[in-house]
Amino acid sequence: MFAFARRTVFLACLSLPLAGCFTQTLTHGQVVSPDAIQDVQVGSSREQVELLLGSPSTTSNLDGEAYYYISQKSETVAFWSPSIVDQRVVAVYFDKDGYVKSVADYGIEDGKVFDYLGRKTRTGGADYGLLTQILRGAANPSIGL
């Protein structure tokens, strides 16, 4: 009896360090399945999109309305800091009449955001650096600083 208890305690102590080596996976946000993305057709209304994908994580009104469905998957091994395994943004762009103009599935791979469906990144507006802004201001002195 004493040998059984001693063996059990020994095995428990031996397996305790291994218990911390398990990986914990956490998913944040709204995960949209690829099948649901394929069901969204160009020309669908906002209501049809919300029925298929649910309400969006966030919306935008830049260059027409857009719905964004954002999700992120991270893994934590033992006591280490969590690392991002996958990050997705499904974007549904609408025209001015409220019908789907295009659908994009953006992800993160090697630190670069890219479109899984069309392999292109959608941009809106221009992003100027400090030097470019100064030179543009010098070329247009009518700003009236």
Asked, for residue 102, whether it belongs to a domain, the answer is yes
Q: pLDDT, tens digit, for every residue of 85-101?
A: 888 889 999 988 889 99
**Is the confidence at residue 16, as pLDDT, over 80?**
no
Query: Are the beta carbons of 85 and 31 closer than 8 angstroms?
Result: no
Q: Domain count of the chain?
A: 1
CATH number, domain containing residue 40? 3.30.1450
Asked, for residue 97, whether it belongs to a domain, the answer is yes
Asked, for residue 28, whether it belongs to a domain, the answer is yes
pLDDT in the model for residue 62: 73
Asked, for residue 128, whether it belongs to a domain, the answer is no
Dihedral pair phi/psi, residue 126, rounded to 5°? -125, 145
Asked, for residue 136, whether it belongs to a domain, the answer is no
How many angstroms separate the CA atoms of 85 and 109, rounded? 9
User: Closest Cα partner for 115 from 93, 143, 84, 83?
Assistant: 93
Q: What is the pTM of this model?
A: 0.62
Tokens (6 digits) for 74: 């991270």
Tokens (6 digits) for 44: 């669908």
With a pLDDT cut of 70, the percent of the chain lying above it is 72
Asked, for residue 119, whether it belongs to a domain, the answer is no
Q: Which residue has the higher pLDDT, 47 or 118?
A: 47
How many angstroms separate the CA atoms of 55 and 35, rounded? 17
Asked, for residue 133, whether it belongs to a domain, the answer is no
Q: What residue numbers bound the domain in which 102 lies?
A: 23-108
How many angstroms separate the CA atoms of 118 and 121, rounded? 8
